[in-house]
Amino acid sequence: MSYCASRFHTVRRPTHEVMIGSVGVGGGHPIRLQSMTTSDTQDITATVKQSIALAEVGCEIVRITAPNVTAAKCLQEIRAQFSAAGFGHIPLVADIHFLPSAAMEAVEHVEKIRVNPGNYADKKKFAVREYSDADYESELQRLHDAFSPLVKRCRELGRALRIGTNHGSLSDRIMNRYGDTPLGMVESALEFLRIAEAHDCRALILSMKSSNPKVMIQAYRLLVERMAQENMHYPLHLGVTEAGDGEDGRIKSAIGIGSLLLDGLGDTIRVSLTEDSVYEIPVARAIADKAMSLWQPATGDRKPETDAIDPYHFARRTTDRLALTPRIAINVEQPPRVIVRVGTPADLPAVLPLLASPKFNDTPAEGLLVTLPSAEALAGLPDPGAAFYVLEPDAGMTAAACAPHAAALRPGTVLLRKFGAGDAAELAAWTALLRAHGCFLAVDLAPADFAALTPALRSLGTGGLIFTLGATPATAAHATGGYRQLVAALHTIDSRAPIWIRNTAATALRPDHSFLSKLLEASFLTGGLLCDGVGDLVSIETEPDAPRATKLAYNVLQGAGARISKTEFVACPSCGRTLFDLQTTTQRIRAQTGHLKGVKLAIMGCIVNGPGEMADADFGYVGGAPGKINLYVGKNCVQYNLPQAEADARLIALIKEHGKWIDPEPAPA
């Protein structure tokens, strides 16, 4: 695996150090946190105030949009006032789209310039045309001529540069040759990287952002692999664009950023939320701290790794089909199933009615994880309704002790049990017992013990078995790596047994009992594995409140694109270009359309970048001019300059016209 030193441990990717003013990124520096102001850059007072607010909550690098030369000139005074307020040590970054002239002004005043390769020298027209090799070469020469002056000035002034590729704003040239793909994103950045290197400019940082965590994860991995082939070791800035707000925005960001940090990639991060930017920093801090707690030295005494997952292309792992109820099955055509821990049999009379009520959750859990204190308790289990039971017997219960009571097992029930290296006989006994009753065994087995049980698994076959790592202390060091090892071990015996991803106290990296911590852990582990195509059942057992745990599990599945149970919102974080109040607009539109399962809605603050960056949204609500909204169907603008007061209703009418509207369910009494 050439993009990272280990898929089973977090070994930080070695990079060279890039100084942004006095702040070092990459090399031996910790993960740096950054964010962006949302004020109009020409409102110097407001921009300085926001920069100070960000610095005071721990932001180490502050980015400010420079949409034109006038705004870029304001950066001089913003830098001066920010320094005078005591923040001379915090570097400022100018965010540039489209206008090299704005970059050439901004570079005089701030420590770093971010350029978007998709629009620095290219105009995005969504044009479809064939580029001959000669055409392509001449475009590259044009790019060289347009970008070189900035590179040279950065060198002269000691500024850093970020080559910040966005999935949604690739140039027509790249789109026509490579498509809207991670490979296209990587090639787009490499074109700029080679120009910078031609001028001996090495103060470079790269990013490969997308609103889709899967796409950004693959793009960063591919970029690192390509850079390694060319002996390039530049630091990475990680982020998920247009992640949205609230729980969903945090989950999407944590899935994308967390997965890469666990791979050892990433040197500075930005969590983009459609909220005041100061709220991004605590999330970024928690993500960075969890990842840094796993860092291992590059030279460790590690065994060679065999991984069974292709990290560059998403493909869901193929599994055997298991029918858990007449309506709920597991296999590659089915979405991952959600299990919730509901306590003991004594808790069930109170919980089961709740599960049947829409008040419990819009989408109820499918599996009910119940601790079984004794085999006798099997007989007293009530009908679970549409759900299936997952029973966790007391650790001392043997298959022989359970056998006299096994007639009470409902077909499709899953029994969860931990096995060690010496448990081959017990594994065989449980497997036989459960198979005889049409039930399934969830085997909690540490990767280190897998080899000892391999002969037993080979002779038994793994049909009807599910594998998990929820309670094994060995996984605490790196639960994602543990699951990857488990998948690799199953691959060695040609097993297609499903995988159940469990978030438990044993899989947590740095638990602090806050909901944010649980959300981040679930996003790292469950979301990250789902983006690698692994995971057939999921449970968030770190959250004791069953409705909240269920909702969190569905939200993580949605964030990873593994199971869509509600409307998908792509909302930009806002910046100095934003033409309306993104936070209130997003909340208002969500209140009206949040029930449209499977519809993807983009809410973007400006027409300059919004249409390009809303990626594969079905409908777009984009700021066209102050107080005016443009509506999109896919990438096509279909209604221009609507007064904002009318735009919500017109958006809903558009969704209806395209047959994607359903009326919301009446609220439960």
Q: Which residues contact 263 (CB under 8 A, 6 or more apart)?
A: 3, 4, 7, 10, 221, 311
Q: Which stretch binds ligand SF4 (CB under 6 A): 121-129, 195-203, 560-568, 607-615?
A: 607-615
Question: How many angstroms separate the Cα of 249 from the Cα of each of 563, 573, 623?
Answer: 16, 10, 21
Residue 612 and residue 119 in contact, taking contact as beta carbons nearer than 8 Å = yes
Alpha carbon 525 to its chain centroid, in Å, reads: 11
Contacts with ligand SF4, 524-563, as mask; x by CB under 6 A: ----------------------------------------
Measure the CA–CA gap between 203 and 194, rounded to whole angstroms. Answer: 13
Exposure string for 505-528, b = 16+ CB within 10 A, e = fewer: ebbbbeeeeeeebbbbbbbbbbbb
Measure the CA–CA gap between 87 and 70, rounded to whole angstroms. Answer: 23
- Give the residue, chosen from 573, 585, 600, 621, that forms a contact with ligand SF4 under the rule CB under 6 A: 573
> Contact between 572 and ligand SF4 (CB under 6 A)?
yes
> Contact between 273 and ligand SF4 (CB under 6 A)?
no
- Give the residue, chosen from 170, 604, 629, 655, that forms a contact with ligand SF4 under the rule CB under 6 A: 604
Smallest gap, in angstroms, from Cβ of residue 323 to ligand SF4?
A: 46
Smallest gap, in angstroms, from Cβ of residue 578 to ligand SF4?
A: 4
Residue nearest to ligand SF4 (CB): 605
Q: Residue 183, Cβ neighbours under 10 Å: how many? A: 17
Smallest gap, in angstroms, from Cβ of residue 162 to ligand SF4?
A: 15
Residue 478 and residue 263 in contact, taking contact as beta carbons nearer than 8 Å = no
- Give the residue, chosen from 609, 631, 642, 655, that forms a contact with ligand SF4 under the rule CB under 6 A: 609
Instruction: Compute the CA torsion angle 162, 165, 168, 171 (nearest 10 deg).
Output: 110
Residue 253 and residue 271 in contact, taking contact as beta carbons nearer than 8 Å = yes
> Contact between 605 and ligand SF4 (CB under 6 A)?
yes
In the complex with ligand SF4, which residue's Cβ is closer, 427 or 579? 579
In the complex with ligand SF4, which residue's Cβ is closer, 271 or 453? 271
Measure the CA–CA gap between 90 and 226, rounded to whole angstroms. Answer: 32
Measure the CA–CA gap between 231 and 309, rounded to whole angstroms. Answer: 25
Smallest gap, in angstroms, from Cβ of residue 572 to ligand SF4?
A: 3
Instruction: Determine the size of the site formed for ligand SF4 (CB under 6 A).
Output: 13
In the complex with ligand SF4, which residue's Cβ is closer, 366 or 568? 568
Pair of tokens at residue 215: 């796409």
In the complex with ligand SF4, which residue's Cβ is closer, 168 or 559? 168
Smallest gap, in angstroms, from Cβ of residue 571 to ligand SF4?
A: 9
3-state SS class at 437: coil
> Contact between 253 and ligand SF4 (CB under 6 A)?
no
Residue 593 and residue 603 in contact, taking contact as beta carbons nearer than 8 Å = no
Smallest gap, in angstroms, from Cβ of residue 447 to ligand SF4?
A: 42
- Single-letter amino acid, residue 477: A
- Give the residue, chosen from 606, 629, 642, 647, that forms a contact with ligand SF4 under the rule CB under 6 A: 606
Smallest gap, in angstroms, from Cβ of residue 575 to ligand SF4?
A: 3
Measure the CA–CA gap between 582 and 580, rounded to whole angstroms. Answer: 6
- Give the residue, chosen from 10, 539, 574, 593, that forms a contact with ligand SF4 under the rule CB under 6 A: 574
Pair of tokens at residue 430: 């449980």
In the complex with ligand SF4, which residue's Cβ is closer, 557 or 604? 604
Pair of tokens at residue 542: 């770190």
Smallest gap, in angstroms, from Cβ of residue 585 to ligand SF4?
A: 12
Measure the CA–CA gap between 194 and 198, rounded to whole angstroms. Answer: 6
Measure the CA–CA gap between 339 and 172, rounded to whole angstroms. Answer: 45
Pair of tokens at residue 323: 């029918």
Alpha-carbon Rg for the chain, nearest whole angstrom, is 26
> Contact between 610 and ligand SF4 (CB under 6 A)?
yes
Measure the CA–CA gap between 604 and 247, rounded to whole angstroms. Answer: 19
- The percent of the chain in helix, strand and coil, each rounded to the nearest 5, is 40, 20, 40
Smallest gap, in angstroms, from Cβ of residue 432 to ligand SF4?
A: 59
Smallest gap, in angstroms, from Cβ of residue 307 to ligand SF4?
A: 36
Q: Which stretch binds ligand SF4 (CB under 6 A): 517-525, 529-537, 562-570, 602-610?
A: 602-610
Smallest gap, in angstroms, from Cβ of residue 281 to ligand SF4?
A: 18
In the complex with ligand SF4, which residue's Cβ is closer, 244 or 393? 244
Measure the CA–CA gap between 406 and 411, rounded to whole angstroms. Answer: 11
Smallest gap, in angstroms, from Cβ of residue 258 to ligand SF4?
A: 22
Smallest gap, in angstroms, from Cβ of residue 103 to ligand SF4?
A: 15
Beta strand 465-468 with 204-209 is: unpaired
- Near ligand SF4 in 408-447, by CB under 6 A: none
Smallest gap, in angstroms, from Cβ of residue 525 to ligand SF4?
A: 30
In the complex with ligand SF4, which residue's Cβ is closer, 517 or 574? 574
In the complex with ligand SF4, which residue's Cβ is closer, 209 or 214? 209
Measure the CA–CA gap between 157 and 114, rounded to whole angstroms. Answer: 15
In the complex with ligand SF4, which residue's Cβ is closer, 234 or 619? 619
Pair of tokens at residue 40: 């109009």
> Contact between 613 and ligand SF4 (CB under 6 A)?
yes
- Near ligand SF4 in 575-594, by CB under 6 A: 575, 577-578
Residue 114 and residue 159 in contact, taking contact as beta carbons nearer than 8 Å = no
In the complex with ligand SF4, which residue's Cβ is closer, 253 or 578? 578
Q: Which stretch binds ligand SF4 (CB under 6 A): 388-396, 429-437, 586-594, 606-614?
A: 606-614
Measure the CA–CA gap between 248 and 594, rounded to whole angstroms. Answer: 12
Smallest gap, in angstroms, from Cβ of residue 82 to ligand SF4?
A: 21
Q: Which stretch binds ligand SF4 (CB under 6 A): 136-144, 181-189, 465-473, 570-578?
A: 570-578
Measure the CA–CA gap between 576 and 65, rounded to whole angstroms. Answer: 6
> Contact between 611 and ligand SF4 (CB under 6 A)?
no
In the complex with ligand SF4, which residue's Cβ is closer, 240 or 575? 575
In the complex with ligand SF4, which residue's Cβ is closer, 216 or 608? 608
Q: Which stretch binds ligand SF4 (CB under 6 A): 459-467, 518-526, 558-566, 598-606?
A: 598-606
Residues that bind ligand SF4 (CB under 6 A): 572-575, 577-578, 604-606, 608-610, 613
